[in-house]
Amino acid sequence: MTDIGLIAIGAGLAVLTGAGAGLGMGIATGKAVEAVARQPEANGKINALLILGLALTESTAIYGFVTALVMIFTMGK
């Protein structure tokens, strides 16, 4: 296996963190929709909390993305 091949495999493995993030965000959005359906007048607060929670959860996927980028761009020759 060549050098760049191993880097590519490593980068691909790093981006797998997106799966967990997507799953978590989907569950969170589902719960938020349920909460709004239960109590429509709390729409604004639930919306704000949802956006905050989604952006924080997405950061784990972004960590994987940044790791993969750093691998691709700085580990080659």
Partner 1 sequence: MQTPSVGKLIAIVLSLLVGVAALVLRARIALPAKDDAAYASIKKKRKRFMTLGVLSLWLFSGLLLGLFRTESSKFEVSISPTRMELFGFSVSSSVVVAWIVMAGLILFALIVRIFVLPRFRETPHGLQLVLETAVGAVSDFTKDKFGRSNEGLAAYFFALAALFLGSAFVELFGLRPPTTDLTMTFSYALVTFVLINYYGIRAKGIGGRVQALMKPNAVIFPFKLLSDIAVPISLACRLFGNMLGGMIVVELVYYALGAFSVGLPAVLGLYFNAFHPLIQFFIFINLSLTFIGEAVEEPA
Q: Which residues of this chain interact with partner 1, rule CB under 8 A?
A: 51-52, 55-56, 58-59, 62-63, 65-66, 69-70, 73-74
Residue closer to partner 1 (CB basis): 34 or 63: 63
DSSP calls for 37-54: HH-GGGHHHHHHHHHHHH
* Residue 17 C-beta: closest distance to partner 1, Å: 11
Quick one: tokens of 74? 């700085």
CB of 49 to partner 1, least distance (A): 11
Cα–Cα distance for residue pair 6/56, rounded to 1 Å: 31
